[in-house]
Structure 1
Amino acid sequence: MSKLLILITGGRGMVGRNILEHPKAKLYSFLAPTSAELDLRDFSKVQEYISTHSPSYIIHAAGRVGGIQANMAHPVDFLVENVDIGRNVILAARNAGVKKLLNLSSSCMYPRNAPNPLSEDLILKGELEPTNEGYALAKIFAMRLGQYIHQEDPSFRCKTFIPCNLYGRFDKFDPKHSHLIPAIIHKVHQAKVDKQQAVEIWGDGNARREFMYAGDLADAVLRGIESFDEMPDLMNIGLGSDFSINEYYRAVAKVIGWDGEFIHDLSKPVGMKQKLVSIDRQKNWGWTASSTLEEGIAKTYDFYLKSV
């Protein structure tokens, strides 16, 4: 019996590579073209590729991503490139007769002042965070496009996962491009190597963030392929709990084995006080993340040591 063929966009990114190395991935045949092999911004090429290969499922994990500074410096690119990529993949899937698409989105879709925990029905119920509004609008566009096509053609199912913040193997550790946990890993590792006695934390460290190990998202995605028809059309994927910035620094220091002290720079910005997704739908679906914070950091640090 031949394996189901799955096209994964963004297969060379952190999420895509965690999916491809998951133990369940061997149950399927994957197409994971690089950007050089398939430019997702070119609709004709995307249409030709999907029509030629005719996958049973598409996991859409590609997009232009970056931190706050990149989003603020290049809002046109973050809006236009991500709208183009989402539009091209979803419309090409429809045109090629691919009926099942799992779209990976972002919790930046939620209004900036929405109450925590963030439930799926809050999307489009308020103003977006200005610093990454273009990226968020593109993610909302892709979600809505899939929903609209389903309205016109009920046999087409585009389901959307909204993951919380992620970290893990294949992450970016360069301080210019990294997010919180890989940035902390790099900073504390350097402090250990250089025998520094203190590491600086911006603000008081009391802001809370929800970070899930990317291998757990990969597990949810492959569970989604297994039970595609039964899962909700729109669903957060997260932990349902969070940690303070101070707790993340302490957890990383424990894993790395650095016993210095932390100094708080209260003049620096700290961002939102909390951003926590609701996992009610996820729990009803019957899935929970399995990695503890220290387990996830240990796997990520191991990857970091092999990549520096």
Structure 2
Amino acid sequence: MKILLTGANGMVGKNILAVAAGHAHEFLAPKSVELNLLDASSVRRYIAINQPEMVIHAAGVVGGIQANMAEPVKYLVDNMQMGLNILTAVKDAGIKKFLNLGSSCMYPRDAINPLAEDLILKGELEPTNEGYALAKVTSTRLCEYISHEDPERLYKTIIPCNLYGRFDKFSPNHSHMIPAVIRKLDEAKKNQLSQVDIWGDGEARREFMYAADLADFIFYALDNFSAMPQNLNVGLGEDYTINEYYQAVADVVGYKGTFTHDLSKPVGMTQKLIDNSKLKEFGWSYKTTLDIGIKKTYEFYLSEYCND
């Protein structure tokens, strides 16, 4: 197929393109100057000219707790606008297949873990990333509505757990947890710091998957798209505490200091573990263990990010 990939310059997009060479699909991977997803007319014009047979929507404004709390308007408006623009343009162009990337933050903050796909909109969202979550819920629901109105339209959503890996961001204010911890502990080691602080008590649990595994799943999904459920969690089905992630990164980085806990800082949801039973039924499972994933991400950080 000729596939339009939005967000080709992001972590997920770059991991998809890195795997694409082993597959027969043709990928359109426009930069934002070629395809401005915030401009509806730009989106329609690009689709009319290039005529993709399918769209994978991986674009988004993403970041950790600090970024989401600092700029909730941007995380809501920009992500919702991009989703609405690409989905309505693709629908109006008669394109039959659309793969939307959701987020596990769409699930209610107080839902019982593991989080099953039917829990979307069944409770209050986590306030620290509510804007981003609302935008993701909107695109997910719109995919459902379009497919309901026209069953020949396969507009489906995958809901990845938290991700990390090659091509990640390592900015202290805009990165997700694992890349942030990699940078933090690498700098602490270089500066010979004896102590590093962790937000909260470190007992909150999170599920992180290596991003190359998500890319592997996406190509599996392309080969089995008709059989894939409307909404599908993609993750490990197991989680670790924040303290355990810090220790795992410390082991890889070689940081020998101790950790303290800043109980004044927000931690988000106490647990966010996806239910992977439908994923197992679909026939796919992850390949990269946490220690190997952290090692590969740290190697990328040292070879690419530190040399920018």
TM-score (norm 1): 0.95
Aligned AA for 2:116? Answer: S
2:105 is aligned with 1:111: no
* Aligned-partner Cα distance in 1 for 2:70–2:259: 31
- Find the counterpart in structure 2 of residue 221 from structure 1: 218
Shift of 1:36: 1.4
Contact persistence 1:19–1:25 (CA under 8 A): no
2:24 is aligned with 1:43: no
- Find the counterpart in structure 2 of residue 128 from structure 1: 125
Shift of 1:99: 0.4
Q: How does 1:236-255 map to 2 (within 5 A)?
A: 236-255=233-252
- Find the counterpart in structure 1 of residue 291 from structure 2: 294
2:188 is aligned with 1:191: yes
* Aligned-partner Cα distance in 2 for 1:239–1:110: 17
2:4 is aligned with 1:21: no
- Find the counterpart in structure 2 of residue 101 from structure 1: 98
Aligned AA for 1:185? Answer: I
* Aligned-partner Cα distance in 1 for 2:189–2:252: 12
Aligned AA for 1:228? Answer: F
Q: Which moved more, 1:20-29 or 1:225-234?
A: 20-29
- Find the counterpart in structure 2 of residue 83 from structure 1: 80
- Alignment equivalent of 1:235, drawn from 218, 232, 235: 232
Contact persistence 2:66–2:174 (CA under 8 A): no
* Aligned-partner Cα distance in 1 for 2:260–2:78: 39
2:247 is aligned with 1:262: no
Shift of 1:71: 2.5
Shift of 1:45: 1.3
Shift of 1:26: 4.1
* Aligned-partner Cα distance in 1 for 2:89–2:287: 35
- Find the counterpart in structure 2 of residue 158 from structure 1: 155
Unpaired segments ≥5 residues, structure 2: none
Give the fraction of aligned pairs with identical amino acids, expressed as a percent: 59
- Find the counterpart in structure 1 of residue 67 from structure 2: 70
CA root-mean-square deviation: 1.5
Q: How does 1:47-66 map to 2 (within 5 A)?
A: 47-66=44-63
Unpaired segments ≥5 residues, structure 1: none
Contact persistence 2:126–2:268 (CA under 8 A): no
Aligned residues: 305
* Aligned-partner Cα distance in 2 for 1:273–1:184: 19
Contact persistence 1:25–1:222 (CA under 8 A): no
Shift of 1:131: 2.3
- Alignment equivalent of 2:9, drawn from 8, 12, 36: 12
Q: Does the residue aligned with 1:136 lie in a helix, a strand or coil?
A: helix
Q: Does the residue aligned with 2:225 lie in a helix, a strand or coil?
A: coil
- Alignment equivalent of 1:271, drawn from 265, 268, 273: 268
2:30 is aligned with 1:33: yes
Residues 1:138 and 1:23: Cα distance change in structure 2 (over 3 Å)? closer
Q: Which moved more, 1:86-95 or 1:200-209?
A: 200-209
* Aligned-partner Cα distance in 1 for 2:142–2:20: 32
Residues 1:264 and 1:75: Cα distance change in structure 2 (over 3 Å)? closer
